[in-house]
């Protein structure tokens, strides 16, 4: 018998020798949990994936005016309800195995949205500060990156002693960039992370990557807040 990774209820269809060929994908969640995960459907901002009924959301219009350096973010779920609880449990309570919840959807989104268009993408994880790393025990971005079928290049580092974030996004992007590049990346990058909130982190990473040879920066995130 297999159990739901999240609520521990027995799974309806357990994997046995007689059915293993017919079960398409090993599900790790029961249908009750899986159905509560709210996917982003319908119209969305073509740059940041926010549910939005025109092609570019208000935020991305502002980014564009500043000279946006991120090509596109694709998010799978709304950062809400069940997905928010799952991410909290996984990331802040150190329940590393819960990354399996996202494996199938992450792989599908990667294939459909990115790998099909550009087979030479490097997956770039967002580094964590030393403090965060010791609090959490793992880097959620690297944990997700490793589930994709593409080379992972850890070319970003993170400065220690980050300043308090300023409110002005332009100033924050330029002055308080917490990232540096450890080696140039001469290929397009796909940053993988759990949540897209303001998009500032991804753009700060993109700024560093592009200063050192990277031609294009995309991002794939589990949830859009
Ligand atoms: Zn469940
Ligand atoms: Zn947008």
* Centroid of ligand 2 to alpha carbon of 3 (angstroms): 38
Could you tell me the residue range of the domain that residue 180 belongs to?
38-224
18 touches 9 (CB < 8 A): no
pLDDT for res 1: 73
pLDDT for res 172: 59
Q: What global pTM score does this model have?
A: 0.89
| Judgement on whether residues 61 and 105 belong to the same structural domain of the protein | yes
Q: Cα dihedral sign for 39, 45, 49, 50? A: negative
224 touches 49 (CB < 8 A): yes
Whole-number percent of the chain with pLDDT over 70:
87
Q: How confident is the model at residue 112 (pLDDT cuts 50, 70, 90)?
A: very high
| Judgement on whether residues 3 and 112 belong to the same structural domain of the protein | no
11 touches 4 (CB < 8 A): yes
- How far, in Å, CA of 57 to CA of 48, rounded? 8
- Residue among 197, 194, 181 at smallest CA distance from 222: 194
| Judgement on whether residues 22 and 48 belong to the same structural domain of the protein | no
Whole-number percent of the chain with pLDDT over 90:
75
Q: How confident is the model at residue 165 (pLDDT cuts 50, 70, 90)?
A: low
- How far, in Å, CA of 69 to CA of 85, rounded? 31
Q: Which ligand is nearest to the CA of 9?
A: 1
State yes or no: pLDDT of 173 exceeds 80: no
| Judgement on whether residues 115 and 13 belong to the same structural domain of the protein | no
Q: Which helix (H) or strand (E) holds 59?
A: helix 58-65
pLDDT digits 0-9 by tens, 16-62: 665 555 555 678 999 999 999 999 999 999 999 999 999 999 999 99
* Centroid of ligand 1 to alpha carbon of 21 (angstroms): 23
* Centroid of ligand 2 to alpha carbon of 20 (angstroms): 42
């Amino acid at each position: 018998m297999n159990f739901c990774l999240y609520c521990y209820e027995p799974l309806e269809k357990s994997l046995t020798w007689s059915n293993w060929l017919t079960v398409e994908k090993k599900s790790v969640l029961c249908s009750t949990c899986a159905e509560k995960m709210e996917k982003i459907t319908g119209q969305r901002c073509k740059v940041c994936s926010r549910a939005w009924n025109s092609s570019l959301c208000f935020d991305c219009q502002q980014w564009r005016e500043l000279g946006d350096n991120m090509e596109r973010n694709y998010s799978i779920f709304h950062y809400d309800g069940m997905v928010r609880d799952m991410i909290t449990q996984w990331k802040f309570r150190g329940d590393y195995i819960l990354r399996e919840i996202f494996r199938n959807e992450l792989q599908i989104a990667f294939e459909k949205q990115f790998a099909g268009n550009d087979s030479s993408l490097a997956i770039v994880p967002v580094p964590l500060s030393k403090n965060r790393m010791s609090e959490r025990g793992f880097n959620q971005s690297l944990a997700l990156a490793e589930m994709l079928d593409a080379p992972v290049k850890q070319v970003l580092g993170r400065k220690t002693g980050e300043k308090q974030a300023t409110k002005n996004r332009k100033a924050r992007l330029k002055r308080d960039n917490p990232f540096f590049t450890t080696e140039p990346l001469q290929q397009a990058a796909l940053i993988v992370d759990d949540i897209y909130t303001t998009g500032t982190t991804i753009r700060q990473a993109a700024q560093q990557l592009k200063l050192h040879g990277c031609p294009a920066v995309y991002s794939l995130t589990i949830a859009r807040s």
